[in-house]
Amino acid sequence: MHVVIFEPCPRGHRYTYVRRIVNAMQGLPISLTLATTPNPQSHETWHHQLEPLKDSFRLADAYPEEDPSGKYAFAWNTAASFARACRELKPDHIIIPSGDGVVEMIGVRRTALLPALPSPIEAEAMLMSASWAYLRRGTFRRWARRRAWALTFGASGIRTFHFIDPLVVRSIKALTPGIARRTVLAPDPVEALPDVPRAQARRRLALDESGRLIACVGRMDERKGIDLLIHAFMKAGLADSDRLLLMGTFMPEINDILAGEAKPLVDSGRIIVVDGYVSDEQLALAIAAADLVAVTYRRHLGSASILIRAAAQKRPVITSDRGFLGETCARFALGTACEVRDTDALARALRETLDRSASFTPAPAAERFVEFHSVANAQLFWAHRIRERLGIAPPTALRTWESVLEAAVPLPGGEPPP
């Protein structure tokens, strides 16, 4: 069986997902090809994620990385490259690790009778979210938008949709039973890490071991609410020894705040800025070094792996009370969820949650939540269909989401409607 992983974009942590899928295929009687951007070795993410595994797959680096600044053009052009990969590589099975937007455009192309996904090829795609699935019942316009996007999913020809957001899966089951039958709630995997003591993690990151630390790791932009976090930290009235660690790639709007109103705190060392690509090891150490992990996304409704990573390393979070973040924080007692766009409320929550952080103990439900999102469990999910097609039994049983919910805290007022 010839299996192709289609990922022409090396940005962010996309190659991390590729690496995990490659590892999931180890030992199976298949030939594996990675269809990706020309000269992927020129990207830093290649060296961190895929260089050690390069002998596990054949490289087909002829599919250009599109400009992600134009959302629809990016998705359309990537879907066209996907069609070309299907035609040129002739896989029996193809996997799209980052299908957001692309899946819909594959459906549009098939509807328009343009080259897309040939019917003999079986395909799977992982998606972070689906904005149309969040649209609640109400106006005709919402209904029409939801139906239009659902139709593109159905027309895509993709056999299995792996969603990592339980809210989306719940909504799809209620709104589009046909697509629900092709939908799997899959893990968003985090690495199993040794229990690194807080002081040791700080030493390895060259941080002061004293005081309390709030950590925020990843892309530093307004979409992730970094501006809200900085302003709340400035207003929270914390001790002089309490610090905020910002580690990741900084966008201009955040640099402007750090060079302006927040500059005195940067100069005094109370706001620590570490600018650049964050490796998996640095990410794990930053969380281990923290007393509190901040996930203050402004409008984000879908899954966020940093929340899962914090739970895996037994650190409390402060996060938005909306969408996946708010519901997951409440279900599994992971920390505090608040209205992050209210600076006063966020500042108060920062202060109170940091004061409680020393006594934070993960609930049993959090342990199941972390087990579901383990790399080992994710690999079982990714290899499941290919094993099924090859007639090879899995080595161990899957940890399902249903078994995780058995230990979860019931939501106030019961399960919310889609």
Instruction: Indicate whether 256 pLDDT > 50.
Output: yes
42 vs 302, which has greater pLDDT? 42
**Nearest partner of 278 among 45, 98, 52, 51, judged by Cα:** 45
Cβ neighbourhood burial of 248 (10 Å; 0-12, 13-18, 19+): buried
Architecture of domain 198-367: 3-Layer(aba) Sandwich (3.40)
Instruction: Indicate whether 149 pLDDT > 90.
Output: no
Instruction: Indicate whether 141 pLDDT > 80.
Output: no
Percent of the chain at pLDDT > 90 equals 68
Question: What is the average pLDDT score of the chain?
Answer: 90
> Which residues is 125 bridged to in the sheet?
96, 161
Instruction: Indicate whether 417 pLDDT > 60.
Output: no
pLDDT, tens only, 377-404: 999 999 999 999 999 998 888 888 888 8
Q: What is the pLDDT of residue 176?
A: 81
| Cα separation, 97 vs 20, whole angstroms | 10
| Same-fold call for 2-186 versus 198-367 | yes
Q: What is the mean pLDDT of residues 348-363?
A: 94
Q: What is the pLDDT of residue 418?
A: 40
Q: What is the pLDDT of residue 327?
A: 87
Sign of the four-CA dihedral 40, 45, 47, 49? negative
Instruction: Indicate whether 352 pLDDT > 50.
Output: yes
Q: Where are the domains of the chain?
A: 2-186, 198-367
183 — pLDDT class (breaks 50, 70, 90)? very high
**Nearest partner of 78 among 3, 168, 8, 13, judged by Cα:** 8
Q: Which listed CATH number (3.40.50, 1.25.40, 1.20.1410, 1.10.150) goes with 2-186?
A: 3.40.50
Q: What is the pLDDT of residue 323?
A: 81
17 — pLDDT class (breaks 50, 70, 90)? very high
Lowest-pLDDT choice from 9-23, 123-137, 204-218: 123-137
Lowest-pLDDT choice from 33-47, 227-241, 338-352, 397-411: 397-411
Q: What is the mean pLDDT of residues 97-122?
A: 93
pLDDT, tens only, 281-316: 899 999 999 999 999 998 776 778 899 999 999 999
